[in-house]
Structure 1
Amino acid sequence: MSPFTGAIASPHALATRAGEAAFRAGGNAIDAALAAATALTVVYPHNTALGGDLVALVRTPDGSITCVNATGTAPAARSLAALRARHGDRLPERGPDTITVPGAVRGWEALRGHGAALGWAAQFEAAIGYAAEGVPVARSLAAALVTDRALLEADTGSRAVFAPNGEFLREGEQLVQPNLARSLTAIAAGGPGEFYTGSVGAALAAGLQRLDCPLTTDDLAAYAVRSTAAISAPLGGFRVHTSPPNTQGFALLRTVRALTELGFDAAPWTAPAAVLGRLFQDGTHVRDTLLADPAFAESDVEHAGFTELLARLRDRAPHETAAAAAPSVPRGDTVGVAAADSAGYAVSIIQSVFDSFGAAVLEPATGIILQNRGTGFSLDPRSPNAIEPGKRPKHTLMPVLVTHEDGRVRWVTSTMGGHGQPQIHAQVLLRLLAGVSPADAVAAPRWVVGARAEGQTADTVHHEADLAPETVADLAADHFPLREVPARTEFLGHTNVVSLTEDGTFTAGSDPRSDGAATVVTT
């Protein structure tokens, strides 16, 4: 019998270790990815939580690729008129009014249905141990505890967990989460229903109602995952697969299709930075103006304005500075896990609480942090993305798989990066297509187009300090306002990649911007 090989990469070494243990216990890439994803809700609580969302792509040995969309819906009691009366034209960035129904746990259940080899409870073993016994505070979490201290101090649950002795934890100090450990243990024993119709969900809903969030047990019980086919486009002899709306996966495919139309298909990594920058800016504009839950408002985000975009890029006339961007500038705190194995399974999971620590609400009894994904909704009644009960907001999460045209897996990628995710994926993929290793592709200097602070314009480029001078010059020549940031900054996201070559060799890379690790396991 041929040996079994699996590979996994995640943004925290302890999560990667949990995935490796799943492989060694007889699990496949689904089991490994889920073990890592569950562990991340404990060790990276500023980026993901039981109270957050999930979007994933899963590839099975028969070659099919499914998108598991476990993005949360607005509670039934949400009212556009009431929110406008309370907040005006724009939702706040944090607090109870930004909370949507958590989708991650149902997402895990849906992913398991595609062929997980281990039992449900096995997925939680590492996470429960990490929560009950404690883990050292990672570099990224320590930085977030400093940045978001005022928000966390204002929340009773957050203070109890992250400042247990009156002082906020520092890097390397032990983070212990006993109430979260009890919630994880109950869900491991009782199944996903324990979160949505059982005691954990009941305690969560009751605690949130005491905090003036209208999420109820009925909202939890009614929640359902949306599983669909992935969307895809060819590039450089491969096919890029990602998630459909309400996610921003379409923005990556607009870039992929444009590179082909503009004649870069044979060597897409040679496309000028200014061309890529305008493609990135286009995707952001379409997302911000048209993207919405397709069950409520159908918009042609894949094709709207695409012909005109190509005409402008073929002209290559320098662009003028863009108008000011929309005022909401979330940091996009997210985790991504990439996994694949020699049996033919491959998984890209993206999980998030949106901003760092989500809504800045940690429900004390359950130890669960809630996302602020509701800020993705509009309070403009004319917008296709206007908030409605049961509706999913426009969403930044977007997993990616790349296959040969015959369906064999080539790369699995996942990234943090908020609104910049399509751009980060594009840059990493272009390097992979050019022959760069996964580790070097995720470590390479990067840049992102779009406002990241109030007052910046939609074409503002933040670039790392060691970005190639010729790339900086090309962007400057096309009138992009440039802002330099430190090299290897988490500000521009962190990415994980698993690679499978023609001869069956696995390699993997985890971004040095995170606290992660990548490993290949042979059993």
Structure 2
Amino acid sequence: MAADPSPVTSTGTTSAIAAPHQKATRAGEAALRDGGSAIDAAIAAAAVLTVVYPHNVALGGDLIALVRTPDSEIVCINASGWAPEAVDVDELRRRYGDTLPIRGAHTVTVPGGVRGWEALHRRAGRLDWHRLFEHAIGHARSGAPVAGSLARHLVDPGNADLRGTEDFDRTFAPGGEPLGLGDALRSPELADTLTAIAESGAQAFYTGPVADAMVDHLGAHGSALTTADFADFAVEECAPIATDFGDLTVVTSPPNTHGFILLRALRWIASADTQACADPLATGLGELIAEFADGNGLRASVLADPRHAPVDLDVLMRPRVPGTGLGGAIRPSRPLRLPHGDTVGVAAADSEGYAVSLIQSVYHSFGSGLIDPTTGVLFHNRGTAFALDPNSPNVIAPHKRPVHTLTPAMTITRDGRVRHVPATMGGQGQGQILGQILARVSAGETAASALAAPRAIVGAQTDGAGTDTIVVERDLAEAARAALEHTGAPILEVPPHTEDMGQANLVVIADDGSMTAATDPRADGEALVLNRVRV
């Protein structure tokens, strides 16, 4: 279903924040006005999103972010969680075959998001930790109005399997029917958990009563996760991967994420000497989509957690030969459960030189469907991205991380300044969405125009789409549509501004330091740029 088609944009000079829900943006704004950094603002916004956007993000989910500090260092914070130490692969294979289910306790890996916030704050936070959670705690305890995207997901036929379950109904249908647009969504248990995190740090989530309660609830549903799996979990802080794109360098997250899909497509646009590259979003869109499809095939067959399986980045980054068509780009793939969206992206920057692209998720809509009644924590289903095929590099294993779709990104000028800070949801299509947005703004489009423009995504991006389907928004330009039809791939049309096609946010920093922020019309968000902050 299409969202409100009015983009939101703001321009100013000192700091910027854009998020897919207005209340999250306002929490980030408050952090900035109180003298916080862009990273403080992003954490505050993300905490609110775990309360008001639970179909897309929760405390029980993962986080991957890029953070840039004033000394020009850029670090990837990989807070993607791992499988249980005691996982029994043979038993899972006997029970499920080669593919884990979409829902249930066996799809839950250790949620990494809270540790990710901690890593971000240690690196670049200015405000006291507890202050970042005030808005989130207030919304969880007092109730926040159900926004449009959540209201649609609560009645979406794709979530019919959740309605009527004890965990789901306790939170989202307390009166017997799913909450509707504007109804108050309350979770005092979640407020208590957020309060514990605010008062005692991330450790309060991974040890002690909160962790005990979560493990007990998951164990009652068959999970092998233990308190030791939670207590031992650590974030990986690593170097991003990058490629040149015109006068910019584009950076994103390395494996186990599929950030390479973005980079190889941009490298193709920048390097191939064809008319397609001169107009990649119109007459050349078929070739660009073929490049994306090739990346999708590599993700399904090669990508894995590099701590457990060899991952050759040169192979992942090698562009296909232009003109070879879409058919050759689609590889037969092992089963890989990839979502349409069900993620949030927060973009923030400030005049001191801090910037962050923060992506956080529950993977599929409402994740595993399990919500611990003691803590109010909804758990993601990121583990369903694992393979059970023993020959797959992505096969589940003890303390292994699954293939990950979260794709933070930034662009950097030749003299080391941040130019663009995008952040998007979009599941398996995140790299494709980012590629189209960056191609547009690099060609001179405004931030708002680039986010509102129609998109085309290859893969299972929405209901009814297969791995070789090109999903297009109905208002795509005629020349672009013709280029896609020329590929011979099946085309599935969706309404303009369909949220499955991504809810993106973008901050753009000009040469003079002025900032523009924009949010996607496919979401319920807001973008703000401040001209003054109180320090």
1:194 aligned partner:
204
Q: Distance in 2 between matches of 1:329 and 1:58?
A: 26
2:191 aligned partner:
181
Structure 1: which amino acid aligns with 2:401? R
Q: Given the superposition, is the C-alpha separation of residues 407 and 392 from structure 1 closer, same or farther in structure 2, using an over 3 Å criterion?
A: same
Contact 2:13 2:514 in 1 (8 A): no
2:289 is the alignment partner of 1:288:
no
Runs of 4+ aligned structure 1 residues displaced above 2 Å come to 148-155, 263-271, 301-307, 315-332, 451-459
Pairwise CA distance, 1:258: 1.8
Q: Distance in 1 between matches of 2:331 and 2:395?
A: 23
Q: Distance in 2 between matches of 1:447 and 1:191?
A: 42
2:223 to 201, 213, 219: 213
1:272 to 284, 294, 315: 284
Between stretches 63-72 and 147-156, larger displacement belongs to: 147-156
Contact 1:286 1:301 in 2 (8 A): no
Structure 2: which amino acid aligns with 1:59? R
TM-score when normalising by structure 2? 0.93
TM-score when normalising by structure 1? 0.95
1:112 aligned partner:
121
Contact 1:8 1:519 in 2 (8 A): yes
1:99 aligned partner:
108
1:248 aligned partner:
258
Between stretches 194-203 and 129-138, larger displacement belongs to: 194-203
Where does 1:267-416 land on structure 2 (aligned, <5 Å)?
Answer: 272-304=284-316, 306=318, 309-310=320-321, 313=322, 315=323, 319=327, 328-416=337-425
Pairwise CA distance, 1:437: 1.2
2:39 to 30, 42, 46: 30
Q: Distance in 1 between matches of 2:263 and 2:331?
A: 25
Between stretches 173-182 and 329-338, larger displacement belongs to: 329-338
1:262 to 272, 280, 291: 272
Structure 2: which amino acid aligns with 1:495? A
SS in 2 for 1:463: strand
For residues 370-392 of structure 1, what are the alpha-carbon distances to aligned partners after superposition, in whole Å with 9 as ceiling and x for unaligned?
00000110000011000001000
2:528 is the alignment partner of 1:516:
no
Return the structure number with greater relative CO, CA threshold 8 A, min gap 6: 2
Contact 1:155 1:361 in 2 (8 A): no
SS in 2 for 1:303: helix
SS in 1 for 2:222: coil
Contact 1:377 1:385 in 2 (8 A): yes
For residues 59-115 of structure 1, what are the alpha-carbon distances to aligned partners after superposition, in whole Å with 9 as ceiling and x for unaligned?
000001000000010011211101011112211111011000000000000001212
1:78 aligned partner:
87
Structure 2: which amino acid aligns with 1:350? I
Give the aligned CA root-mean-square deviation in angstroms.
2.0
SS in 1 for 2:315: coil
Contact 2:498 2:522 in 1 (8 A): yes
Q: Given the superposition, is the C-alpha separation of residues 438 and 171 from structure 1 closer, same or farther in structure 2, using an over 3 Å criterion?
A: same
Contact 2:140 2:186 in 1 (8 A): yes
Between stretches 209-218 and 176-185, larger displacement belongs to: 209-218
1:158 aligned partner:
168
SS in 1 for 2:312: coil
Structure 1: which amino acid aligns with 2:58? A
User: Where does structure 1 lack aligned partners over 5 or more consecutive residues?
Assistant: none
Q: Distance in 1 between matches of 2:329 and 2:278?
A: 31
Contact 1:61 1:343 in 2 (8 A): yes
Q: Given the superposition, is the C-alpha separation of residues 479 and 64 from structure 1 closer, same or farther in structure 2, using an over 3 Å criterion?
A: same
1:230 to 214, 219, 240: 240
Q: Distance in 2 between matches of 1:496 and 1:376?
A: 25
Q: Given the superposition, is the C-alpha separation of residues 268 and 63 from structure 1 closer, same or farther in structure 2, using an over 3 Å criterion?
A: farther
Pairwise CA distance, 1:198: 2.2
SS in 2 for 1:331: coil
1:489 aligned partner:
498
Pairwise CA distance, 1:151: 2.9
Contact 1:232 1:253 in 2 (8 A): yes
SS in 2 for 1:102: coil
Q: Distance in 1 between matches of 2:115 and 2:326?
A: 48
Q: Distance in 2 between matches of 1:318 and 1:199?
A: 52
Pairwise CA distance, 1:438: 1.0
Between stretches 68-77 and 256-265, larger displacement belongs to: 256-265
Contact 2:20 2:344 in 1 (8 A): yes
2:8 aligned partner:
none
Pairwise CA distance, 1:453: 6.4
Pairwise CA distance, 1:322: 5.1
Q: Given the superposition, is the C-alpha separation of residues 256 and 320 from structure 1 closer, same or farther in structure 2, using an over 3 Å criterion?
A: closer
